[in-house]
Chains A and B, each alone.
Chain A
Amino acid sequence: MAQMTMIQAITDAMRTELKNDENVLVFGEDVGKNGGVFRATEGLQKEFGEERVFDTPLAESGIGGLAIGLSLTGWRPVMEIQFFGFLFEVMDSVSGQAARQSFRTAGKRNAPITIRSPFGGGVATPEMHADSLEGLVAAQPGIKVVIPSTPYDAKGLLISAIQDENPVVFLEHMKLYRSFRQEVPEEEYTIPLGKADIKREGTDVTIIAYGAMVQESLKAAEALEKEGHSAEVIDLRTIQPLDVETIIASVEKTNRAIVVQEAQRQAGIAANVVAEIMERAVLSLEAPVLRVTAPDTVYPYAQGENTWLPNAADITETAKKVLNF
């Protein structure tokens, strides 16, 4: 075991898979010699060579096409989009092509592509760096979408993503890259995609979150405990497909739930979670399922982040609304 930040755990996952499977290729803008703009691929080119870890021209759409073509010749591409706000440049390759590769070849060609990309607010990035666009890709049949919130989850989930035979979008929250360390096993281990994790057990209200909102929800749970409320915090980890079983079991136990996301209310995936609960557990509910989200504006100017991004106080407040309904 070693103490790792999330970014170290991510590097470690890629190193592990580059070692395990000679078909794994890591590429993107500045991921080679430079080791990535966040050092996520630090040392990998040196260890595995330019044939396995390499830079690309600056063109996201081209990178997506490169991954698709490489997958059609038996490679297992791990491509990076430098910031997920640049998704729009490569939306066709991701949603229009890779996601549909199995379907449009009657299941005869698959696309074992992992698309790594940083996103998320709270670090005062310039425009189009921090936007939460997971809702866009989660809406596309054929893709799985993974968002880890801890170093341990990041490594196990990324290894699973790389080993998956289908395209997986793996979104890395920038604020979580180095915000804390955690014990992470040095050997290979996997965490199944599509499995949520109960980060804190509770009995009065279920708080369902993902990404940076998991840490905020845990803070809110502590605040609620001081007021005598026991909150259960579920970290979705995979937002497409959802772990409906874990969500429903928790709601049936607590009878109350809120869904927390950093994305705007009209975006993200919170509405999906609410709908699943309504369809499957409405008779267990003592109160409506409420959402904690950002306002429906464009992602804020950097200096406006603090007032715009949802945080632990917003979560506590919404949880209390549900508890006192």
Chain B
Amino acid sequence: MAAKKNTQFDPVNTLHEIEEKFEMFQILNEDGKIVNEEADPKMSDEELTELMERMVYTRILDQRSIALNRQGRLGFYAPTAGQEASQLASHYALEKDDFILPGYRDVPQLIFHGLPLHMAFLWSRGHYLGSDLADDLNIFPPQIIIGAQYVQAAGIALGLQKRGKKSVVMTYTGDGGTSQGDFYEGINFAGAYRSPAIFVVQNNQYAISTPRSVQTAAKTLAQKGLAAGIPSILVDGMDPLAVYAATKDARERAVNGEGPTLIETMCYRYGPHTMAGDDPTRYRTSDIDSEWEKKDPIVRFRTYLEGKKLWSEEQENAVIERAKQEIKDAIKQADQAPKQKVTDFLKIMYKGDMPYNVQEQFDIYTEKESK
């Protein structure tokens, strides 16, 4: 017998109605044309070129980081190519006082928030001086435990709110990360306290080899904001203007006391998950790759800026040269970091007096290291 149709409430229809509402927000299409004039964030010429410079710089940083990793001159590295709009246009909407809680792929945002490049390289290599954060730098080292940055962001947001600060915290995770409990708890806590947080989900289609469709039956990841009762938006993550506009809007509402926002950026990573042996050809076809290459955020932004006479090949080459030089210098600077000693590690375990066991071991290793 077929299930009796409930005329009062149709759950299947309700789901579809809700899902239909999460349309993708786009301003700049693949051809570099404004398709949503009304939503154009109207960035100044200087802002537009600066954002382009950062995106180009980051693409070069990715290429060089992969090469340096292959040469054994960098350690852990999670490629970023393809996500420049998602990472840098979202960051561009922040102010210096805002906090960033990054995931392990979100090193570029930290660099443009003020983390010196050589420290990012030291972090990649596994050196504590890569995390030797300046006091006024409102970042935290890249989070390896997927989801932890979300609950911590809820805490920073509440902390800022209690201080009456007009600033926000922004945190990032990937599509796979939305399956974590901490993802949900983070957005739900921030919602309950209406605290100033921006939660970004960079949906780059794969969590290592697991496609987004295996994470959830939900049609969008943005709609997961509904469970926390917070506003959420699905954005074309390959479109710098849309990402910037969405983040700017979320920031404004947050500092006005209207609470957090969840932003899903639909994007793609051209490279492997990390440089630790992941091979995307095992789970991705070249068709999918080339389909996303057509959406390249740098290509469409370049076309757009060239149309406005704001960008030229010379400008782009200048950024590339500058990036290469700064990367070279930063690697040299990283090479000069002193070798890590056990006493260094023991010293940074606790603030204040060392507990007896740490003190005892500190003395033993001081002796060893003096030989």
Among A95-103, A204-212, A305-313, the stretch that binds chain B is: A95-103
Residue B132 contacts which of A66, A67, A108 (CB distance < 8 angstroms)? A108
Are B356 and A69 in touch, CB under 8 angstroms?
no
User: Nearest Cβ distance between residue B192 and chain A, in whole angstroms?
Assistant: 5
Are A69 and B357 in touch, CB under 8 angstroms?
no
In this assembly, does B283 line the interface, its C-beta being within 8 Å of a C-beta of chain A? Answer: no
Residues of A within 8 A of B347 (CB): 107
In this assembly, does A244 line the interface, its C-beta being within 8 Å of a C-beta of chain B? Answer: yes
In this assembly, does B163 line the interface, its C-beta being within 8 Å of a C-beta of chain A? Answer: yes
Residues of B within 8 A of A93 (CB): 148, 151
Q: What does the 1/0 interface line of A64-87 toward B look like (CB < 8 Å)? A: 111111111111000000000000
Residues of A within 8 A of B186 (CB): 62, 65
In the bound complex, how far is the Cα of B131 from the Cα of A57, in angstroms? 32
- Interface members, chain B 211-268 (any A CB < 8 Å): none
With contacts A93-B148, A96-B145 taken as known, whether A69 is within 8 angstroms of B133 at the C-beta atoms is no
Are B159 and A61 in touch, CB under 8 angstroms?
no
Are A241 and B355 in touch, CB under 8 angstroms?
yes
Are B154 and A69 in touch, CB under 8 angstroms?
yes
Residue B133 contacts which of A64, A73, A103, A108 (CB distance < 8 angstroms)? A108
In this assembly, does B153 line the interface, its C-beta being within 8 Å of a C-beta of chain A? Answer: yes
Which residue in chain B gives the minimum CB-CB distance to A141? B349
Are B351 and A72 in touch, CB under 8 angstroms?
no
Are B159 and A73 in touch, CB under 8 angstroms?
yes
In the bound complex, how far is the Cα of B345 from the Cα of A317, in angstroms? 44
Residues of B within 8 A of A105 (CB): 131-133, 140-141
Which residue in chain A gives the minimum CB-CB distance to B140? A72
In this assembly, does B10 line the interface, its C-beta being within 8 Å of a C-beta of chain A? Answer: no
Q: What does the 1/0 interface line of B124-163 toward A look like (CB < 8 Å)? A: 0000110111110000110001001011111111111011
Are A102 and B140 in touch, CB under 8 angstroms?
no
Residues of A within 8 A of B151 (CB): 61-62, 64-66, 68-69, 93
Q: What does the 1/0 interface line of A155-167 toward B look like (CB < 8 Å)? A: 0000000001110
Residue A102 contacts which of B135, B163, B182, B350 (CB distance < 8 angstroms)? B350
In this assembly, does A106 line the interface, its C-beta being within 8 Å of a C-beta of chain B? Answer: yes
In this assembly, does B40 line the interface, its C-beta being within 8 Å of a C-beta of chain A? Answer: no
Residues of A within 8 A of B350 (CB): 102, 142, 165-166
With contacts A65-B186, A103-B348, A166-B351 taken as known, whether A109 is within 8 angstroms of B140 at the C-beta atoms is yes
In the bound complex, how far is the Cα of B159 from the Cα of A71, in angstroms? 8
In this assembly, does A296 line the interface, its C-beta being within 8 Å of a C-beta of chain B? Answer: no
B residues contacting the other copy or chain, number (CB 8 A): 44
Residue A65 contacts which of B99, B189, B352 (CB distance < 8 angstroms)? B189
In this assembly, does A242 line the interface, its C-beta being within 8 Å of a C-beta of chain B? Answer: yes
In this assembly, does B289 line the interface, its C-beta being within 8 Å of a C-beta of chain A? Answer: no
With contacts A57-B192, A61-B182 taken as known, whether A97 is within 8 angstroms of B133 at the C-beta atoms is no
With contacts A66-B151, A97-B152, A141-B349 taken as known, whether A106 is within 8 angstroms of B163 at the C-beta atoms is no
Residue A70 contacts which of B148, B158, B188, B192 (CB distance < 8 angstroms)? B158
Which residue in chain B gives the minimum CB-CB distance to A245? B356
Residues of A within 8 A of B182 (CB): 61-62, 65, 92
Residues of A within 8 A of B153 (CB): 65, 69
Are A106 and B155 in touch, CB under 8 angstroms?
no
In this assembly, does B116 line the interface, its C-beta being within 8 Å of a C-beta of chain A? Answer: no
In this assembly, does B169 line the interface, its C-beta being within 8 Å of a C-beta of chain A? Answer: yes
Are B155 and A103 in touch, CB under 8 angstroms?
no
In this assembly, does A123 line the interface, its C-beta being within 8 Å of a C-beta of chain B? Answer: no
Are A62 and B185 in touch, CB under 8 angstroms?
yes
Which residue in chain B gives the minimum CB-CB distance to A194? B355
Are A69 and B155 in touch, CB under 8 angstroms?
yes
In this assembly, does B181 line the interface, its C-beta being within 8 Å of a C-beta of chain A? Answer: yes
- B interface residue numbers (CB < 8 A to A): 99, 128-129, 131-135, 140-141, 145, 148, 150-160, 162-163, 169, 181-182, 185-186, 188-189, 192, 345, 347-352, 355-358
23 A-B contact pairs sorted by A residue (CB < 8 Å): A57-B192, A62-B182, A65-B154, A65-B185, A66-B154, A66-B189, A68-B152, A69-B151, A69-B157, A69-B158, A69-B169, A72-B155, A72-B159, A74-B163, A93-B148, A97-B148, A102-B350, A103-B128, A105-B132, A106-B132, A142-B349, A144-B355, A242-B356
- A interface residue numbers (CB < 8 A to B): 25, 51, 56-57, 59, 61-62, 64-75, 92-93, 96-97, 102-110, 112, 141-142, 144, 164-166, 194, 240-245
